[in-house]
Amino acid sequence: MQDTTVSNQETSLSGGDEGIYVPEALQIPTRTVALSMQLLIGAANLVVHLSILPVSLLLLPTQVAAFDPVHKISNYGFVATLGAFAALLANLFAGALSDRTTSRLGRRRPWLIGGTLAGGIMLAVLASAPNALVLTLAWTLLQACLNLVLAALGAIVPDQIPVRQRATASAFVGLSAPVSILLGDILIAVLVTSTSLSYYTIMGLLLIVMLLFVLVMRDSVLPAAAAPPLHIRSFLTSFWINPMRYPDFGWTWLTRFLVYLSYNLTFSYLFYYVQDALHYEQLFPGQRASQGIAILQLITTGTSLIAAISSGVLSDRLQRRKVFVMCASTFIALSLLSLAFFRNWQEVKIVAAFLGIGLGSYFAVDNALATQVITNTSVRGKDMSILNIANALPAALAPTIGAIILTIVHSYTPFFVLAGILASLGAVLVLPIKSVR
């Protein structure tokens, strides 16, 4: 049965007129996807994030400090920044090139296989990196390789999930990043104490889950005749999507950028907020600020899980996206504004629970909304990669913006007020989106 909930924009640009042949790879998906497959898509995203986020937060800083304790902060900043730019470029180009891939394995599968195998090798190199140069090169290549995978994975939802199921599937995808951080904390800090063994454990999980995923996923072959010719100039200019011509795409990108900037501002300096504003180590002698962060992450992730799945299911049932994204952004904004004035540990734990509700709902439904504003079914990978810049760019900008604010005002009140305002703007600017309800 034809899916009648497809947005008007996607229908009009997919060659949906009667009598016009559209390859299966470019058709709008209508076949119901089993819950087990949706969970596997989430698991694939989870192991990729597990190979990036906990490594960058826990393992990489430890290794950088071991090579040069005196300059560890500046060295880590250099390594992290280099990796971030490699990730951004790899994700962008892989998304666009996978759209044109005509392999017998499908459009996305070759990128999943190649990126995973190369990423596994880089994890092994990192496990025994003998010096800072090798560490830097391996981390940069790891970010590039795994973002080839993330680009292909980002296209799976619009490729294969019908619109009526996209918020539920997006809930599992959206939760993969926060859950990976929590699992990484447990794996690296509790279950495995060796740095090298942590790398090999993560590598094993990555290879096993991704192997299972590429074996069972459907990936329709794009006929060579349907792939546009590759001209460098037109290929590069295609990354500019005019917001005047595609206003819904532009508004979606902007709102996502604002909300993710507020999110990254908060989490970039949460450690120092807990340490210096809440005085956690004085409140609980013998404990470290990192333990307080772990408690807040556990609370936030727990409520995010519940909110993401329930919001995703309800959004799919009602076929409404905007109201969920607006409410989720408002929850995030109010939570961050509360942090501007709260200095009590118990109050902050309550805020963490409400923040998790907002983040979980946002991660689920915003991704579903994003898949419905892509400009054409033939460029799903490229468009999703461009939308992912709105997630990645704030991660690079937030530490600098936060440092400037805190250096000038020496207070967390205007810091969190700004974060709350950004999320509020993200909520309001969803309204102009017309093609998605």
> What pLDDT digit, counting tens, does each position of 330-367 carry?
999 999 999 998 888 999 999 999 999 999 999 999 99
Q: Which of 116-130, 140-154, 242-256, 291-305 has the lowest mean pLDDT?
A: 291-305
Topology of domain 236-437 in CATH is Growth Hormone; Chain: A; (1.20.1250)
Q: What is the mean pLDDT of residues 293-312?
A: 92
- Length in residues, the chain: 437
Examine domains 1-6+26-220 and 236-437 and report if their fold is the same.
yes
In the chain, where the domains are located: 1-6+26-220, 236-437
Three-state helix/strand/coil letters over 33-86: CCHHHHHHHHHHHHHHHHCCHHHHHHHHHHHHHHHCCCCHHHHHHHHHHHHHHH
Question: 283-287: long-range contacts at Cβ-Cβ below 8 A with a sequence spacing of 24 or more?
Answer: 283/345
pLDDT tens digits along 391-432: 888 877 887 888 888 888 888 899 999 999 999 999 999 999
pLDDT higher at 341 or 81: 341
Residues 212-247: b if buried by 16+ CB within 10 A, e if exposed = ebbeebebbbbeeebbeeeeeeebeebeebeeeebe
CATH top-level class of 1-6+26-220 = mainly alpha
The pLDDT, as a whole number, for residue 251 is: 97
pLDDT greater than 60 at residue 9: no
Q: Which of 96-100, 283-287, 326-330 has the lowest mean pLDDT?
A: 283-287
C-alpha separations of 125 from 64, 109, 119, 135 in Å: 14, 24, 10, 8
The pLDDT, as a whole number, for residue 11 is: 43
Q: What is the mean pLDDT of residues 152-179?
A: 94
Task: Please name the residue ranges forming H helices in 269-321.
Answer: 270-272, 280-283, 289-318
Task: Please name the residue ranges forming H helices in 161-194.
Answer: 166-174, 176-186
